[in-house]
Structure 1
Amino acid sequence: MLEKLVNGFETHLFRNRMWVILSFILITIFLGYQASQLKMDAAFSKNIPLNHEYMKTYTKHQKDFGGANRIMVSVEDTSGNIFNPEYFETLKNVHDQLFFIPGVECSQVKSLYSPSTRFTEVVEDGFAGGPVIPADFRNDEYGLNVVRDNVEKAGIVGRLVSNDYSSAMLTAQLMDFVAKTDEEMAESEGAEKDITTKPLNTIQFAKQLEEELRGKYETDTIKIHIIGFAKMAGDVAEGAKGVLLFFLIAILITAVMVYLFSKSLILTLLPLICSLVAVCWQLGLLTVVGFGLDPMSILVPFLVFAIGVSHGVQMINAVRRRVIDGQNTKAASASAFRSLLVPGGVALLSDTVGFLTLLAIDIGIIRELAISASLGVAVIILTNLILLPLVISYTTIKPEKEDPVKKAKIEGLWRSLSRFATPKYASVVLACTALLYAFGFQQASNMKIGDLQGGAPALHLDSRYNQDTFHITDNYSITTDYMTVIVEATPEACTYHSILNEIDQFEWMVGNTPGVESTASLASVSKQVNAGFNEGNPKWQVLPRTTASLV
């Protein structure tokens, strides 16, 4: 039944091969245009499992506590001392510039110039305090000395100011959506006219950071260090542009290898062209279904090309063998099509299903990778198992006369290898396999999960982003890895000693866990305030037991 179906399909295709090839050309033109509209798409929410219980808590309280998609900008004075007029002028300009970059949550920008950056001190009359940089700040020696004193009183050394006073930090929370420009509103059609926002373009945002912060304000004496998911995604996307060069090199190397195998220019070009058509279809279909290309999935087109060439080489080898046996090119192509359609199609469908299983992982970037890869592998069935033999049927392949000596050598090699299928040699192979399995199983227990080096693993260790990361982790008491724990309790729970005591106990346990650098919570702040209410006496740095005192 299956053989009859394949034969009927082959007969129909080869009788109408010109129309079929023309259809492929038209589809390729359409999907090629769609591929030209493909854009890099990197979003923070795609990198986290939104349906996980931890992430549900994150999204539930995101508006109250802020999200995890933020950037950190460290402004460094190469002289080693930030308390000079030129530095503070630059710091103010960087703060103002960051404040107005589209995509930044203005209320969540934090730096020395933020009104919310305050200090508190105990004085004779009780408490005194105010912004670290006062409203009447003068950028001179006197004003800078006031700011220095306020910085020490505020307890922000190691957080907003580096431990050695050589740099200061700005942090900003990013929004998921930004307002459309007037031009974008004018271009909107239909139902989109009522939508005034659009998703944040992470890669464009990273480019703005580079141009409007580092490009404007970095000098010989001032260094700008920027880290955060958005900046990392932008750097990966920027580096991905260089992948095109490697893609061309890979095509050239593949072409040379296929030519050495086929000894024919036409049989070299055809599988390469059909594989590139598959890549074109894959990228075009991504645009059609509404996806972009994530920088982390940039290698998927390479994978599709490699798989396409592999199946293409099988096809041209089958055609060539039949031509050598005396068939003409059309008959050889039809025969090769019949013999490879089912096994090749099953193999490619198996690969497609294998990639689709990744959809079970509830992370956006993994699911997009699964869809991208499965689309690419699926279209290879059309381009390399159907289009390729149809195109080959229009070519003329001259049968090669095989060298009897060379043929004898090859047959001798295969005859030698066939001995491994006999019991005598097979037992040795199985024993070696068992030993290798045991060794691999033992080594698998030492497999590390996670990042084994500092910085972003997607970038080289000496990349600018990773060097910025090392600067921040080396000079501040905070790290780029932090965990937020949200305590849900009854209304006004913050005013009850039993609740705050539980938080305090938890913070103590976390703070004494190896690898934790610092902690902060409402409980630790309450103890500091309580000591302040009692003339700053450290003996009173405890949690009050009465609700009235906690209020």
Structure 2
Amino acid sequence: MSERHMQQVISDPKDFDDRSGNIVERLIFNNRMALVAVCVLLTAFFGFQMRGLVVNASFDKMLPQGHPYIQNYVENRGELRGLGDSVRVVVENPKGDIFDPAFLATFARINDEILVLPGVDRAWMKSIFTPVVRWIEVTEEGFKGGPVLPTDYNGSAKSIEDLRINVGRAGVTGSIVSNDLHSSMIVVPLMPTDGAGNSLDYHTLSTALENIRAKYATDASGEAPVRMYIIGFAKMTGDLIDGLEKVMNFFLLAAAVAAFIIYLFTRCVRSTVLVLVCSLVAVVWQLGSLVVLGLGLDPFSILVPFLVFAIGVSHGAQKMNGIMQDVGRGTHKLVAARYTFRRLFIAGVTALLADVVGFAVLMIIDIPVIRELAMTASLGVGVLIFTNLILLPVLLSYVGVSPAAARRSLAEETEEVKGRGLGKVWLLLDHFTERRWATAAIVVSIAMAVGGYYVALDLKVGDLDAGAPELRPDSRYNRDNAFITSNYQISSDVFAVMVKTAPEGCRDWQTITEIDRLSATLEQVPGVQRASSLADTMRAYIGGSSEGNPKWLTIPDNQSIVDGQINNALSWNSEFLNTMCSLSPVLAYLTDHKAETLNEVVKVASEFAEKHDNGERKFLLAAGSSGIDAATNIVVAEANRTMLIYVYASVIVLCAIAFRSWRAVVVAVLPLILTSILAEALMVKLGIGVKVATLPVVALGVGIGVDYALYLLSVQLAQQRLGFSLGQAYQRAVAFTGKVVALVGVTLAAGVVTWVWSPIKFQADMGILLTFMFLWNMLGALILIPALSHFLLQGETRRSSTKPDEATLPEEALADTCAAPRKGVETPDAYARSEPALAKT
């Protein structure tokens, strides 16, 4: 059979030349059974591997490893007691103050149960029942002190009274004990590993804490003997993982919605099921591959399988639509599958490669959790090239589509060509190839871009809400955080500046004076509740050594006096210096970890360090939870624009390869830029900051959004290069791909819009943004591509003295890449006559 007749209507596969098509097509379709067998085996293998899939998080993976602040923290974390990963547990007496025998007995049991949990740094756990929390006072005989909990404590009235006195002596009201004395805090520093040397399992730890909370929630009478409030990265992560169980329901809902939309489009059960199955196979391969590579999922990458599934369904719909059209014209299902593979494989591969790029560029961000997300997503989308571009057409070549559905699809297209049904929409879109409509569309788009740009100038980096923005404001965690913040003078948001000296260098009175100056400077910053440092300890010790005279509550310039008090601080295991007296942290307790608060603290601390660093002492930023948040914000801010530049550069290269026209690249990319600008403006209006959880969204929207342009513009260009005018080419392109582009946009949006109701707020935010970007990219493709083409792509049409129609053009010119109908070509016979040209396009 000649190349000219390669895509004629062939109802009997015996009449089809198996040697036709390129080498990839022949390799696939001439070995169909072997390919299906391999896929079945791989699916079984990866499905078996999924048994080892774990969902966990790591504190260290959230750290931007290359940032100087984090390097300073990691280098000195062994000397920083509890200033990294920690949990705070507050136990409240709902019936009175903490000096109640029954409450204290319960508190002691809770304290002991938390102490033995895996991963707890027991030496530095702090509460009124641990020996590291001490009191000190000055007497006629000198300094006296000891643990806040009396050594002879036995629950008697006298020992409880001694405890009350020691709490007052220790000055822990507002830090370890609440301001109203109705609750007390347990500060639980965590180690990176559990006792067995394994990475700390945050979900297990969070569950253990919840079990303790549930255990003491009620007593025999049914009343609550105590109330517990728990915050910290480990607890937040545990809550996120718990919420993922509900998220799985959204996966099922997304699958059901996608199936419903595809079925409405095709009215064919068998092909709809195949599209869903192939997309699910891609997810199985992706998750199984993660286990093989020794990776897992975390709360931030758990959403990736949802996206892979939605992308797979959208690309599968393109293949199914092509086969359905050919079967409707009388082509055998095997031949139709090969025709569709020829027409859409290159466009599909290019589109999926753009998606891969959209994920892969996230690798430039120096945060391990984002890099793992990028790897997970790139792997999943790469798998789709095989499951949805190769396996799906092969399976459809066996199963085919419903003949009734195929006839119905062809009848609908015939009606649309006559301007009925959706044809009215396609005729409306055709107007955007005309100068008046094109000019109006571009002017409106420019106005929207300018307005969106000015709104997007207010886009913030970091968290914009107190508590844990990853969770809902009314979540248990955020309610606990609100209680602790309102009842304690210090928060869990701690910004630490590390003062580094040579060994024994922190004894120098000048160093302590500089520490005191930094502490006083930080206290003046809006958002700082208070600051604490070694200078406060020295001031208290020196004043106490002078009969409590307030005149001596200072840092003297007498080194011998300071040396004596440093020795006292070392003997009492002060948290403000290490055993070598070479590191002393200055702690600023913040009201929140919002972007504005952190930016101001970083600015002041950096300026102070720049002015006061010398050969004897260095002021190193930053440790503490807020110090880590500040470093993360800086990395995210720097990576945000860089990431977009890489995404657009990659998309431009791919489009240039696909279109072979710089003008076509401009037409494809400008609608994406408009969507990116409007998406950032939407983030401002919704109060969503750029952070680890939201940073990937804009990149994903660009990488996935270019799919629309690739499918639509490739057909339009093919028609123009055959000699059709822009209006005719776009009419023919949109008649076929317009419906499918709309289907893809709606399917992708439907796959993520359900996230809006997720208990995990950052998932809801991603759902809103991705839904907006998917739908807006779809509209941009359908409206702006013809409008921009009017000014940039008119020259793509072949110069000819005769009008391209059936009478003057060769038969090959009557067919487009997808055999779309147009007026005058309305019957299956007419399609059959035009099919030979498909081989040459």
Q: TM-score range by the shorter chain?
A: over 0.9
CA contact (8 A) 2:20 2:26 kept: no
Q: Given the alignment, which residue of 65, 68, 71 partners 1:50?
A: 65
Say which SS state the counterpart of residue 447 (structure 1) adopts: coil
Q: Given the alignment, which residue of 424, 437, 446 partners 2:449?
A: 437
CA contact (8 A) 2:150 2:159 kept: no
Q: Given the alignment, which residue of 498, 516, 526 partners 1:514?
A: 526
- Which residue is equivalent to 1:358? 362
- Which residue is equivalent to 1:157? 173
- Are 2:257 and 1:241 equivalent residues in the alignment? no
Aligned mates of 1:119, 1:314 — CA distance in 2: 73
- Which residue is equivalent to 1:305? 309
- Are 2:437 and 1:413 equivalent residues in the alignment? no
- Which residue is equivalent to 1:505? 517
CA contact (8 A) 2:522 2:528 kept: yes
- Which residue is equivalent to 2:541? 529
> Could you tell me how far 1:266 is from its partner in structure 2?
0.8
- Are 2:72 and 1:65 equivalent residues in the alignment? no
- Which residue is equivalent to 2:201? 201
Could you tell me which amino acid in structure 1 is paired with residue 142 of structure 2? G
- Are 2:104 and 1:104 equivalent residues in the alignment? no
- Which residue is equivalent to 1:216? 215
- Which residue is equivalent to 1:92? 108
Q: Residue by residue, what CA displacement relative to the aligned partner does 1:319-358 show, whole Å, maximum 9, x if unpaired?
A: 1112223311111100101111111101111211221111
Q: Given the alignment, which residue of 220, 229, 232 partners 2:233?
A: 229
Higher mean displacement: 428-437 or 444-453: 444-453
Q: Residue by residue, what CA displacement relative to the aligned partner does 1:35-87 show, whole Å, maximum 9, x if unpaired?
A: 23201121110111122111111111111113511111101000231111001
Higher mean displacement: 35-44 or 383-392: 35-44
- Are 2:41 and 1:26 equivalent residues in the alignment? yes
Aligned mates of 1:218, 1:104 — CA distance in 2: 23
> Could you tell me how far 1:453 is from its partner in structure 2?
2.0
- Which residue is equivalent to 1:486? 498
Aligned mates of 1:105, 1:116 — CA distance in 2: 12
CA contact (8 A) 1:160 1:168 kept: yes
Q: Given the alignment, which residue of 554, 560, 576 partners 1:542?
A: 554
> Could you tell me how far 1:406 is from its partner in structure 2?
5.0
Aligned mates of 1:179, 1:151 — CA distance in 2: 32
Higher mean displacement: 400-409 or 222-231: 400-409
- Extract structure 1 runs of 4+ deviating beyond 4 A: 3-6, 403-407
The alpha-carbon distance between structure 1 residues 50 and 5, as it changes in their structure 2 partners (threshold 3 A), is: farther
CA contact (8 A) 1:92 1:113 kept: yes
Aligned mates of 2:336, 2:501 — CA distance in 1: 75
Say which SS state the counterpart of residue 326 (structure 1) adopts: coil
Higher mean displacement: 38-47 or 59-68: 59-68
Could you tell me which amino acid in structure 2 is paired with residue 119 of structure 1? W
Q: Given the alignment, which residue of 267, 272, 278 partners 1:274?
A: 278
Could you tell me which amino acid in structure 2 is paired with residue 376 of structure 1? G
Higher mean displacement: 170-179 or 104-113: 170-179
- Are 2:461 and 1:446 equivalent residues in the alignment? no
The alpha-carbon distance between structure 1 residues 6 and 464, as it changes in their structure 2 partners (threshold 3 A), is: farther
- Which residue is equivalent to 2:751? none
Aligned mates of 1:234, 1:405 — CA distance in 2: 55
Structure 2 residues without counterparts, runs of 5 or longer: 1-5, 7-18, 219-223, 564-841
Aligned mates of 1:7, 1:327 — CA distance in 2: 20
Aligned mates of 1:261, 1:530 — CA distance in 2: 82
CA contact (8 A) 2:416 2:424 kept: no
Higher mean displacement: 139-148 or 417-426: 139-148
Say which SS state the counterpart of residue 513 (structure 2) adopts: helix
Aligned mates of 1:21, 1:319 — CA distance in 2: 19
Aligned mates of 2:424, 2:186 — CA distance in 1: 72
Could you tell me which amino acid in structure 2 is paired with residue 435 of structure 1? A
Q: Given the alignment, which residue of 185, 188, 191 partners 1:169?
A: 185
The alpha-carbon distance between structure 1 residues 528 and 432, as it changes in their structure 2 partners (threshold 3 A), is: same
Aligned mates of 1:64, 1:490 — CA distance in 2: 14
Say which SS state the counterpart of residue 548 (structure 2) adopts: coil
Q: Given the alignment, which residue of 78, 94, 102 partners 1:78?
A: 94
Could you tell me which amino acid in structure 1 is paired with residue 407 of structure 2? E
Q: Residue by residue, what CA displacement relative to the aligned partner does 1:502-547 show, whole Å, maximum 9, x if unpaired?
A: 1111111101110001111011211111111111111111101111
Aligned mates of 1:325, 1:139 — CA distance in 2: 90
Aligned mates of 1:524, 1:412 — CA distance in 2: 77
Aligned mates of 1:512, 1:329 — CA distance in 2: 76
> Could you tell me how far 1:6 is from its partner in structure 2?
6.6
Q: Residue by residue, what CA displacement relative to the aligned partner does 1:1-41 show, whole Å, maximum 9, x if unpaired?
A: xx999722111211110110111010000001112320112
Say which SS state the counterpart of residue 400 (structure 1) adopts: helix
Structure 1 residues without counterparts, runs of 5 or longer: 181-196
Say which SS state the counterpart of residue 209 (structure 2) adopts: helix
> Could you tell me how far 1:179 is from its partner in structure 2?
3.1
- Are 2:329 and 1:325 equivalent residues in the alignment? yes
> Could you tell me how far 1:298 is from its partner in structure 2?
1.4
- Are 2:10 and 1:8 equivalent residues in the alignment? no
> Could you tell me how far 1:215 is from its partner in structure 2?
2.6
CA contact (8 A) 1:84 1:141 kept: no
Aligned mates of 1:12, 1:374 — CA distance in 2: 25
Q: What is the TM-score with the length of structure 1 in the denominator?
A: 0.94
> Could you tell me how far 1:407 is from its partner in structure 2?
4.4
- RMSD value, Cα: 1.6
The alpha-carbon distance between structure 1 residues 216 and 413, as it changes in their structure 2 partners (threshold 3 A), is: closer
Say how many residue pairs are matched: 532
Could you tell me which amino acid in structure 2 is paired with residue 239 of structure 1? G
Could you tell me which amino acid in structure 2 is paired with residue 17 of structure 1? R
Say which SS state the counterpart of residue 337 (structure 2) adopts: helix
Q: What is the TM-score with the length of structure 2 in the denominator?
A: 0.62
> Could you tell me how far 1:315 is from its partner in structure 2?
0.6
- Which residue is equivalent to 1:142? 158
Aligned mates of 2:259, 2:33 — CA distance in 1: 27
Q: Residue by residue, what CA displacement relative to the aligned partner does 1:411-440 show, whole Å, maximum 9, x if unpaired?
A: 443222111111111111111111101110
CA contact (8 A) 1:275 1:305 kept: yes
Higher mean displacement: 5-14 or 368-377: 5-14
CA contact (8 A) 2:59 2:85 kept: yes
- Which residue is equivalent to 2:705? none
Aligned mates of 1:418, 1:68 — CA distance in 2: 60
> Could you tell me how far 1:217 is from its partner in structure 2?
2.5
Could you tell me which amino acid in structure 1 is paired with residue 68 of structure 2? E
- Which residue is equivalent to 1:378? 382
Higher mean displacement: 369-378 or 43-52: 43-52
- Are 2:353 and 1:341 equivalent residues in the alignment? no
- Which residue is equivalent to 1:283? 287
